[in-house]
Amino acid sequence: MAKKAKVVKEKKRQAMVKKYAEIRRELKAKGDYEALRKLPRDSSPTRLTNRCQVTGRPKGYLRKFGMSRIAFRDYAHKGQLPGVKKSSW
C-alpha cells in the first residue's frame, strides 16, 4: 500500500489538470508561452503518474485494468475481473 499522502497528492494533481485544461489549450493555440509558464506546475498533464486504483502503487501499472500487477493477480485469481482467466497449456 502506497502512502496515503502520495495518493492524495496525485488526486489533487488530477483535479488541477482538469481545472486548467481549457486555459492551457487556449494559451497554446495563441502561442502565449509566457502566460503558460505562469500557470501552476501541477496543472501540466505530464506531471501525472499512473497509480493503481486499489493500492496506489506507482510501479507495475497495467493500463487496461487500471491496477498494479500485484493487485491484478489477486483479483484475477479470485475471479473478480471479467474476461480474465488463468492460462494453462
Query: Which residues contact residue 83 at a Cβ distance below 8 angstroms, ignoring those fewer than 6 apart?
Result: none
Domains of the chain: 1-49 (1.10.287.1480), 50-89 (4.10.830.10)
Report helix, strand or coil for 84: coil
Contact 10, 49 (CB under 8 A): yes
Model pTM score: 0.81
User: pLDDT digits over 41-73, tens only?
Assistant: 999 999 999 999 999 999 999 999 999 999 999
Q: Kindly report the average pLDDT of the chain as a whole number.
A: 94
Question: To 5 degrees, how large is the angle CA 39–CA 45–CA 6?
Answer: 95
Contact 59, 68 (CB under 8 A): yes
